């Protein structure tokens, strides 16, 4: 397009006048946020009703006729009295009537508590929330620009950063602290790093059920009293209790049982991988992951009827040329959206993964793979769209620059979710009549000024400059702006979310390895 065609009505003078008025208004500060957590999705539906019914019925067949291998005693104990049986291959089979009963009585919506109530999220319905996640083992180092093993300090930094990114609603564990001496120490420290860095809801995946009670006692110590955590559990504990295809993983299954017994939310990530640990046909992968995810719903409800269970259906995709996980392709985008649609079919709270680019560099590929996958998971109506901020390299790495960039992208997607408000006023007949009879444009109109902060959102770092402006700034890539913003936040935002007295108590009772000097400004790291 030529420079002159984009505003065909008014001349430059009119445009300048309107612009001055808008700048003045804008200076008075934002009045209302155009978007918030829980914007509605559900407007994208790749599967037909008939497709969903067939997937559902086949999944029930799988659970009844093929069952799930290696059931643990704690699950057999609650399942067998309800009509389940162990078949000749030692697999636990679930009668379809039981599954249907549980589906009918399952929890439809629950509150995911923030550490502070302002970050509480309602999980269910068509409400879309964005969460980090990923448990990467590497970090794209801010200073060297190279991938290196991720550390506890990285996790603290990611938590502080996510705390300040308004479109990240929940802080799933972005990375593994690979510098911990053992897993129990890691579990305490991961929890500590999250609490120190953010007041948003977060998640910690633990090694085994032995650590479950100990982690809860850590949270109780933070809250200053035994039993306090389960009253307002701000952390989701656990990993994936299913090893695909269709068998229990002992340690995580035990953790799932422990959660259910305490009434704590189960939020698994059932990540069967099409072409490797799930059928290559995408419909078959849906069948298997629906069946596997139903198992967590069943177990949770057998132990505690009505338990909050997030239907954590995370179908993954292989590049069939190599068998490797590939998170950025069209197959993944489609499969994830279809998985969300299955959750909506069941009217269950959902969790899916999206934004899992295969790019290692923060480049156009990273951008479009995240854009396509997160958009579709969101417009499908995923309640927790996880992995969607900061992840790189097929979930092997995480990056602060990527996180800052992705936050702007999530803002765009939330604006999409907000949808188009159609009313007598917004249909704008009178406004159109005024423009035609008057100035021939809408730039300085009171209505335009009024809608500036409610109908439109503005990115923090995305380039909307003129060509000349961009060139005069040295023709930067968005990564440069992301570095500036990340550094601004990370050099300044050292929140005091753990008060000194509590901190001293926690450090006394638990092997906390995050050093106090790394947790305040001027430490030379940023």
Shortest Å, Cβ 477 to a second copy: 4
Site for a second copy in 345-364 (CB under 8 A): 358-364
Site for a second copy in 402-421 (CB under 8 A): 402, 405-406, 408-409, 411-416, 418-421
- Candidate residues 13, 23, 143, 520; the one interacting with a second copy per rule CB under 8 A: 23
What are the CA-CA distances from residue 507 to residues 158, 206, 397 (Å)?
Answer: 21, 20, 29
Task: Report whether 216 contacts 96 (CB < 8 A).
Answer: no
Shortest Å, Cβ 444 to a second copy: 10
Contact map string, positions 447 to 476, toward a second copy, x by CB under 8 A: xx--xx--xxxxx--xxxxxx--xx---xx
How far apart are the C-alpha atoms of 452 and 268, rounded to whole Å? 40
Site for a second copy in 171-190 (CB under 8 A): 176
232/434 with CB nearer a second copy: 434
Examine residue 245 and say whether the peptide bond preceding it is cis (omega within 30 degrees of 0). Answer: yes
Site for a second copy in 275-294 (CB under 8 A): 275-288
294/413 with CB nearer a second copy: 413
Site for a second copy in 240-269 (CB under 8 A): 240, 243-246, 249
69/511 with CB nearer a second copy: 69
Strands 384-386, 350-353: parallel, antiparallel or unpaired by DSSP? parallel
Under the phi-then-psi rule, with left for phi > 0, alpha for psi from -120 to 50, and beta for the rest, what region is 469?
alpha
* 326 near a second copy, rule: CB under 8 A: yes
The neighbour count for residue 361, using CB atoms within 10 Å, is: 15
- Residue written as token pair 């609650």: 78
* 522 near a second copy, rule: CB under 8 A: no
Task: Report whether 235 contacts 188 (CB < 8 A).
Answer: no
- For the CA atoms of 298, 300, 305, 310, the dihedral, rounded to the nearest 10 degrees, stands at -90
* Region binding a second copy by CB under 8 A among candidate stretches 217-225, 332-340, 485-493, 511-519: 332-340
* 389 near a second copy, rule: CB under 8 A: no
* 63 near a second copy, rule: CB under 8 A: no
Strand order in the sheet with 316-319: 273-274, 316-319, 324-325
347/455 with CB nearer a second copy: 455
What does DSSP assign to residue 130? E
94/510 with CB nearer a second copy: 94
285/301 with CB nearer a second copy: 285
Q: Which residues pair with 325 in a beta bridge?
A: 318
Task: Report whether 260 contacts 214 (CB < 8 A).
Answer: no
Shortest Å, Cβ 130 to a second copy: 13
Separation of CA 457 from chain center: 21
How far apart are the C-alpha atoms of 364 and 351, rounded to whole Å? 26
- Candidate residues 136, 195, 235, 348; the one interacting with a second copy per rule CB under 8 A: 136
Site for a second copy in 365-384 (CB under 8 A): 365-372, 375-376, 379
How far apart are the C-alpha atoms of 302 and 79, rounded to whole Å? 7
Site for a second copy in 477-496 (CB under 8 A): 477-479
Strands 138-140, 397-398: parallel, antiparallel or unpaired by DSSP? parallel
Shortest Å, Cβ 414 to a second copy: 7
**What is the total count of residues that contact a second copy (CB under 8 A)?**
160
* 18 near a second copy, rule: CB under 8 A: yes
Shortest Å, Cβ 442 to a second copy: 6
How far apart are the C-alpha atoms of 154 and 170, rounded to whole Å? 17
């Amino acid at each position: 397009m030529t420079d002159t065609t984009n505003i065909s009505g008014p001349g430059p003078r009119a445009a300048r006048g309107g612009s001055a008025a808008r700048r003045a208004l804008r200076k008075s500060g934002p009045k209302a946020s155009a978007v918030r957590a829980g914007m509605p999705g559900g407007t994208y539906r790749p599967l037909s009703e008939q497709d969903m019914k067939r997937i559902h019925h086949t999944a029930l067949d799988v659970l009844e006729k093929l069952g799930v291998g290696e059931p643990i005693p704690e699950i057999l104990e609650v399942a067998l009295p309800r009509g389940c049986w162990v078949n000749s291959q030692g697999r636990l089979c679930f009668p379809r009537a039981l599954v249907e009963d549980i589906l009918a009585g399952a929890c439809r919506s629950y509150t995911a508590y923030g550490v502070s109530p302002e970050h509480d999220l309602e999980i269910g319905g068509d409400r879309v929330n964005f969460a980090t996640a990923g448990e990467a083992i590497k970090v794209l180092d801010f200073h060297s620009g190279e991938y290196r093993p991720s550390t506890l300090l990285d996790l603290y930094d990611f938590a502080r950063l996510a705390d300040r990114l308004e479109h990240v609603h929940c802080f799933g564990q972005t990375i593994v602290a690979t510098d911990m001496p053992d897993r129990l120490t890691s579990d305490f420290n991961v929890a500590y790093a999250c609490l120190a860095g953010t007041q948003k809801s977060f998640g910690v995946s633990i090694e085994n059920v032995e650590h479950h009670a100990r982690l809860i006692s850590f949270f109780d110590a933070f809250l200053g009293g035994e039993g306090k955590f389960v009253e307002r559990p701000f952390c989701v504990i656990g990993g994936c209790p299913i090893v695909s295809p269709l068998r229990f993983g002992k340690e995580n299954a035990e953790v799932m049982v422990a959660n259910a017994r305490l009434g704590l939310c189960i939020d698994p990530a059932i990540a069967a991988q099409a072409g490797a640990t799930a059928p290559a046909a995408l419909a078959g992968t849906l069948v298997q992951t629906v069946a596997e995810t139903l198992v967590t719903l069943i177990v949770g409800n057998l132990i505690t009827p009505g338990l909050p269970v997030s239907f954590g259906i995370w179908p993954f995709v292989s590049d069939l040329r190599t068998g490797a996980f590939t998170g950025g392709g069209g197959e993944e985008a489609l499969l994830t959206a279809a998985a969300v649609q299955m959750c909506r079919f069941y009217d269950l709270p959902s969790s899916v993964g999206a934004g899992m680019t295969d790019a290692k560099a923060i480049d156009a590929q990273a951008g479009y793979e995240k854009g396509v996958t997160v958009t579709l998971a969101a417009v499908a109506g995923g309640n927790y769209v996880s992995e969607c901020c900061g992840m790189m390299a097929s979930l092997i790495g995480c990056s602060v620059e990527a996180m800052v960039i992705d936050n702007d992208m999530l803002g765009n997607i939330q604006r999409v979710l907000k949808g188009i408000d159609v009313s007598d006023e917004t249909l704008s007949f009178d406004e159109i009549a005024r423009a035609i009879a008057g100035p021939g444009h809408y730039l300085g109109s009171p209505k335009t000024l009024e809608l500036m902060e409610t109908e439109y959102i503005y990115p923090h770092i995305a380039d909307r400059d003129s060509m000349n402006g961009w060139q005069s700034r040295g023709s930067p890539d968005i990564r440069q702006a992301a570095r500036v913003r990340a550094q601004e936040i990370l050099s300044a935002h050292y929140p005091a979310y753990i008060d000194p007295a509590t901190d001293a108590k926690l450090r006394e009772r638990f092997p906390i390895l995050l050093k106090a000097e790394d947790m305040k400004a001027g430490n030379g790291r940023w």
